[in-house]
Structure 1
Amino acid sequence: MLVLLEVPLLAQVQQATVTQTVPAATQPALRLDIPHSDNPLNSFRATLVPKPNLANSPRIDALVKDGVLELSLKDAISLALENNLDIAIARYNIPIAAADVLRTQAGGSFRGVNTGVVQNTPGGGVGGFGPGPSGAGAGGTSGGAGGAGSGASGLVSSTLGAGTNVASYDPAISGTFSIEHFAEPLSNTVVYGVPELQQNTTTGNIGYTQAFPTGTSISAVFDNNRGTTNSPESFLVPALNTYYHIALQQQLLAGFGLGPNLRFLRIAKNNQRISDEAFKLQVVTTVTQIANMYWDLVAAYEDEGVKSRSLEFARQTLESGRKQLALQAIPAMDVMKDEAEEASREQDLTIAKTTLQFQELLIKNALTKNLDDPNLEAMPVRPTDQSAMTDTTPQGPTEDMTARALKDRLELGESDIDLENRRLSRDAARNALLPSVALTAYYGGSGLAGLQNPASGTISTSPPDLAGSLRTAFNNSAPDYYVGVTVNVPLRNRVAKSDQYRAELETRQSELRSEQLKKQIRIEVRNAQYALEQSEARVVSARKGRDLAQKTFDITAKEQELGAGSNYQTLTARRDLAAAESTLVAAMTAYQKAKIEVDRAVGSTLEANDISIESAKTGIAPSGQ
């Protein structure tokens, strides 16, 4: 019978981050820490993660009034922090990164984390460019640093973590207990003195191994053996053997020191920092998208009102024209023109209504975890914030905005931390070029005890019991010691040389990417600033156009009332007024989106919207937000 026991002791489990199983009713948010337990058996128990809570937050019900979801921009952002699935997906990257830290604390290699921005919510656009198509990727639509995949942003990551092998820093205890009976018929009785040799052996051994970040490893064994035999040639029956052995090995060149041996842990901790920055970037991206969607909803809501008023006037005009035709005051051709105008306005209103309904669906999809409730899916949304433009928009000098962006943009922080990881890998690859030189030393001792075998005819001086065997093993009477150096020198070393050279190239490549990112941010800041100035000019022009169209309509309506104008002229003026109002709505929407883009480009989105990252991490927005 053979029983093996391996007990890894996770001494630093309290620093890990994995979610315990908690009932969904009492677990509204994803846990970001693991409670420490003094029970060593917990090291062998699975730590489970509860199923995602797919219930919408109660905030939605509080915003429903008379069957209409009344929504402000702040309400939309709060709902997004609580319910948006892009943020919910990205939220898991935080404990995943912390789990990687736990793994590397034990000497394991890092697995990497996905820090790309998730963009699976359709609508809204990101970064002020494009109409905002839905994303295509469950883990992250855009590639990110810190193990998100080779080739992201044109960078190669094949040597990230390269270097010498890292042993496990978790202590391990191994044990063996066995009982064996052995019988063997013999063809010659000279050696053992019996025709059939019978042996009974009981073994109890224990071992201990552990490595350290300095490139040091220790091991210890303690072996005990009890044997009996039927051979008269054996002096001791039973014979008790004891042996212990303590060994130490130290790497002197390749694999020496904290740098190469802690590189996995340092990279994992950097990845954890990148994951935190990436989550902030996810919140910024999603909030930017939600804000764009909100102003699209406002535009659709206001435009539907414009088209509705235009149709109402066309219907009133048509009704008046038909009455005049009945009195033969106008020709039938004028009524036909009124009918054509009314049909055109009906078409415009239908388009505006369906556009509004689609924008309502988009924003409800973005602000909920599910749309299983048919009442919610069909519920109209009424935005409570209206487009407005102040006379002056404080921006500050372009140089100040650029300086702030270079300081606050999260992408630069990610890039800098990723560059640290590449430098750690580069240094470890340089160390791996060195020959392997290991200093090994051990010390041990042996002990023997047992009862004299009467059949042997000899007198034994060995102690009779296990205590005596232990005493002779540890009293240095039978020592076993060794000191030696093991050298391994690869003559061409092409694999390590290739890895080192690639690591150098990838580091330089990442440095260039960092500079390219700074240039890109400068361009984005200037583009956002110019777009805001242009949108302000469009709003001013659209307002003047709307005011002029209003005056023209008022004049034509007065002329018609006095009998100096026709219905068609008034309808044309009213159509021009509706077009001018729609143009103003579009200009105001572009202005609001330009302001959103300025905040994103400068890196002030979180501050501008008073968003707490801690609330975003827990998925519970403050009640006042």
Structure 2
Amino acid sequence: MTFRLRLLLPLLAVLLAATGARAEIKLTLDEAIRLALEKNPQIKVDAYDRPIARADWLAELGRFDPALTFRRSYSESNTPSYGPATLSDLYQSDEYSLGLEGTTPWGLSYRIGGTASNERRAIDPDAFATFGGIQVTQPLLRGFGFGANLRGVRIARANRGIADWTFRQSAIDTVTAVIGAYSDVSYAQNLLRITRRSRELSSGLVAENERRFKVGSMSENDVVQARARSAARDQAILYAEQAVRDSVNRLRQLIGETEFPIEPENIVVEPPEIVDEPTISLQEDLKIAFEKRPDYQAARLGVDIYRVNHVYARNQLLPQLDFVGSYGYRGLDTDFGVSRRMVRDRENRAYSAGVVVSVPLTFTEGRGRLRSARLKLRQSEADLDRLEQDIAVSVASAAGQIDTARRRVAANRAAYELAKQALDDELKKLRAGTSSTFFVLNIQEQLAAVESNLYQSLADQRRAHANYDRAIGRTLDVHHVTLAKE
């Protein structure tokens, strides 16, 4: 069905040009929903958020990937010597290092590898110094723990979940909009049919009145009244035709069409009958809404983000206390091979240990950031409570709309049957000479209005069901839509 309309449009254009008639395309609701999910421009735009969020999450995870690092440096300096004569001592140094460096999720920075330096002085022979081992820096207060170091990963993971739920919300909104637009097309087409039939009834009454006027059983005023009402109904047909065109183009826009002609092809819709009313239990439906509504789940993840920021801000308020240490083996000789062998054979053990302390004098920045993070967390929690209240109201309202729509349909069906019976009775009276054209025309218009109300209530009933499904977050489940995993 994805290319059905595109394949048919060229053929339809040829048929329209050859016959001058508007072709018809049958489009079921399921097909319209499928086309919208595949081709709707907003869906295509929103679909990018999920891979973007996943890429950001991978980037944050990459912060803990070890890196193979090579360094090379050269330095040179002249150092004056002391004595009776001022001599210049030229000092030259070449340094090399190769190691594996990285950071762990609990804050430990490490480097595993070796260094080599060649020091040359005019008054001393060349010396080769080598070292092989591990060097570490471990924060003990600020920067220590998973909360401080996994902040970016946790936020990116939450944003990835938010992107998934947001895309699901976009799909739900699109499906709901398609159901509404599909119902609008159905109502507009039925309204056009009603107005045309009303025009036919008035034309038939005009013909019958003219025939009876010729035989002298009806006045000329009755003929004029019938003609005037018949002419007035021509305008209603024009408005109804424009409503069909507008509703069809709205539906075409939702299903991803890019061309909107003044005379679009006549899409014939077949809205499914609502046979079984849903079993409504506000308490159970509210639980389902909290579980499946994308906006609520996204809001919960938003609270998690503020909670992560609060934990991080609390950690950053601590003073800095880092343990630094190293352990390995050194080599020193005038021959580079000998110096390297000393490291390899672990002849000269070398280690160090110490601490680095840094204490802000006022903690002003840290206290300000912590206070801001705490208030934002409380704000997000309060907003989540507000959203829960809004969801409860929307679920109750949607349930009430279903009940109201069902009653409206029943009332309008009964009114339609009564209006048809009233028109039949009034026509019989007119032919028997006990009624007038004025009463018959009024009842014809009443019948058209009642039938229009019936189809409007049916369209509203379908919207009510769609809004109810959206309110509790089960739209995609009801229409058997499965979103592709990213």
TM norm structure 2: 0.85
2:258 corresponding residue in structure 1:
371
State the Cα deviation string for residues 279-338 of structure 1 (Å, max 9, x = none).
222222211111111111111111111011011222233344445556666444333322
Matches within 5 A, 1:101-120: 101-107=57-63
- What CA distance in whole angstroms lies between the structure 2 residues aligned with 1:202 and 1:433? 42
Q: Is the 8 A contact 1:284 1:606 kept in 2?
A: yes
Matches within 5 A, 1:441-456: 441-443=325-327, 447-449=331-333
- What CA distance in whole angstroms lies between the structure 2 residues aligned with 1:337 and 1:436? 96
Quick one: structure 1 residues 322 and 189, their matched pair in 2 at CA, closer, same or farther if it must change by over 3 Å? farther
2:301 corresponding residue in structure 1:
417
Letter matched to residue 60 of structure 2: T
1:622 corresponding residue in structure 2:
none
Letter matched to residue 215 of structure 1: G
Letter matched to residue 271 of structure 2: D
1:217 corresponding residue in structure 2:
109
Letter matched to residue 91 of structure 1: A
Matches within 5 A, 1:467-478: 467-472=337-342
Q: Is the 8 A contact 1:310 1:574 kept in 2?
A: yes
1:74 counterpart (24, 30, 33): 30
1:92 counterpart (48, 53, 70): 48
Q: Is the 8 A contact 1:293 1:359 kept in 2?
A: yes
Asked whether 1:535 is paired with 2:419, we answer: no
Quick one: structure 1 residues 442 and 203, their matched pair in 2 at CA, closer, same or farther if it must change by over 3 Å? closer
State the Cα deviation string for residues 363-413 of structure 1 (Å, max 9, x = none).
011002x424969x8211110226x454x7342433333333334333332
- What CA distance in whole angstroms lies between the structure 1 residues aligned with 2:386 and 2:76? 74
Q: Is the 8 A contact 2:426 2:435 kept in 1?
A: yes
2:65 counterpart (156, 161, 170): 170
Quick one: structure 1 residues 178 and 523, their matched pair in 2 at CA, closer, same or farther if it must change by over 3 Å? closer
Asked whether 1:311 is paired with 2:199, we answer: yes
1:60 corresponding residue in structure 2:
5
State the Cα deviation string for residues 105-133 of structure 1 (Å, max 9, x = none).
023xxxxxxxxxxxxxxxxxxxxxxxxxx
State the Cα deviation string for residues 46-74 of structure 1 (Å, max 9, x = none).
xxxxxxxxxx9324358889742211111
Secondary structure (helix, strand or coil) at the match of 2:268 reads strand
How far off its partner does 1:240 sit? 4.8
Long gaps (5+) in structure 2: 13-22, 79-83
Q: Is the 8 A contact 1:432 1:496 kept in 2?
A: yes
Q: Is the 8 A contact 1:59 1:79 kept in 2?
A: no
Matches within 5 A, 1:220-259: 220=112, 222-225=114-117, 233-236=123-126, 240=128, 242-243=130-131, 246-259=134-147
2:81 corresponding residue in structure 1:
none
Secondary structure (helix, strand or coil) at the match of 2:224 reads helix
% identical equivalent positions: 26
- What CA distance in whole angstroms lies between the structure 2 residues aligned with 1:482 and 1:560? 115
- What CA distance in whole angstroms lies between the structure 1 residues aligned with 2:391 and 2:132? 65
How far off its partner does 1:272 sit? 1.8
How far off its partner does 1:341 sit? 0.8
Quick one: structure 1 residues 200 and 416, their matched pair in 2 at CA, closer, same or farther if it must change by over 3 Å? closer
1:599 corresponding residue in structure 2:
469
Long gaps (5+) in structure 1: 1-55, 108-168, 450-461, 619-625
- What CA distance in whole angstroms lies between the structure 1 residues aligned with 2:75 and 2:151? 46
Asked whether 1:398 is paired with 2:286, we answer: no
Q: Is the 8 A contact 1:60 1:79 kept in 2?
A: no
- What CA distance in whole angstroms lies between the structure 2 residues aligned with 1:435 and 1:279? 42
Asked whether 1:380 is paired with 2:266, we answer: yes
Matches within 5 A, 1:456-535: 462=334, 465-472=335-342, 481-535=351-405
Q: Is the 8 A contact 1:446 1:474 kept in 2?
A: no
1:339 corresponding residue in structure 2:
227
Q: Is the 8 A contact 1:448 1:473 kept in 2?
A: no
Asked whether 1:274 is paired with 2:152, we answer: no
Secondary structure (helix, strand or coil) at the match of 1:106 reads helix
- What CA distance in whole angstroms lies between the structure 2 residues aligned with 1:380 and 1:435? 73
Quick one: structure 1 residues 397 and 570, their matched pair in 2 at CA, closer, same or farther if it must change by over 3 Å? same
Asked whether 1:545 is paired with 2:415, we answer: yes
2:17 corresponding residue in structure 1:
none
2:178 corresponding residue in structure 1:
290
Q: Which is richer in helix? A: 2
Q: Is the 8 A contact 1:175 1:204 kept in 2?
A: yes
State the Cα deviation string for residues 540-589 of structure 1 (Å, max 9, x = none).
22122212211111112223334444333322221111111111111211
Q: Is the 8 A contact 1:63 1:71 kept in 2?
A: no
How far off its partner does 1:248 sit? 0.9
2:479 counterpart (606, 609, 616): 609
Quick one: structure 1 residues 357 and 424, their matched pair in 2 at CA, closer, same or farther if it must change by over 3 Å? same
Asked whether 1:432 is paired with 2:324, we answer: no
Quick one: structure 1 residues 418 and 500, their matched pair in 2 at CA, closer, same or farther if it must change by over 3 Å? same
2:98 corresponding residue in structure 1:
206
Cα RMSD over matched residues? 3.4
Matches within 5 A, 1:37-48: none
- What CA distance in whole angstroms lies between the structure 1 residues aligned with 2:29 and 2:192? 19
Letter matched to residue 42 of structure 2: D
- What CA distance in whole angstroms lies between the structure 1 residues aligned with 2:385 and 2:88? 82
Quick one: structure 1 residues 174 and 394, their matched pair in 2 at CA, closer, same or farther if it must change by over 3 Å? closer
Quick one: structure 1 residues 292 and 252, their matched pair in 2 at CA, closer, same or farther if it must change by over 3 Å? same
State the Cα deviation string for residues 407-448 of structure 1 (Å, max 9, x = none).
433333223332222222222222222111001112466545
Q: Is the 8 A contact 2:225 2:437 kept in 1?
A: no
State the Cα deviation string for residues 200-221 of structure 1 (Å, max 9, x = none).
9866443442111111101256
Q: Is the 8 A contact 1:439 1:483 kept in 2?
A: yes
1:590 corresponding residue in structure 2:
460
- What CA distance in whole angstroms lies between the structure 2 residues aligned with 1:235 and 1:511? 71
Secondary structure (helix, strand or coil) at the match of 2:68 reads strand
Secondary structure (helix, strand or coil) at the match of 2:480 reads coil
- What CA distance in whole angstroms lies between the structure 2 residues aligned with 1:220 and 1:389? 70
Quick one: structure 1 residues 405 and 315, their matched pair in 2 at CA, closer, same or farther if it must change by over 3 Å? same
Secondary structure (helix, strand or coil) at the match of 1:419 reads helix
State the Cα deviation string for residues 262-288 of structure 1 (Å, max 9, x = none).
122122222222222222222222111
Letter matched to residue 288 of structure 1: T
Letter matched to residue 413 of structure 1: Q
TM norm structure 1: 0.68
Secondary structure (helix, strand or coil) at the match of 1:613 reads coil
Secondary structure (helix, strand or coil) at the match of 2:69 reads strand
- What CA distance in whole angstroms lies between the structure 2 residues aligned with 1:182 and 1:258? 45
Quick one: structure 1 residues 256 and 381, their matched pair in 2 at CA, closer, same or farther if it must change by over 3 Å? same
1:144 corresponding residue in structure 2:
none
Q: Is the 8 A contact 2:249 2:260 kept in 1?
A: no
Quick one: structure 1 residues 191 and 470, their matched pair in 2 at CA, closer, same or farther if it must change by over 3 Å? farther
- What CA distance in whole angstroms lies between the structure 1 residues aligned with 2:291 and 2:134? 54
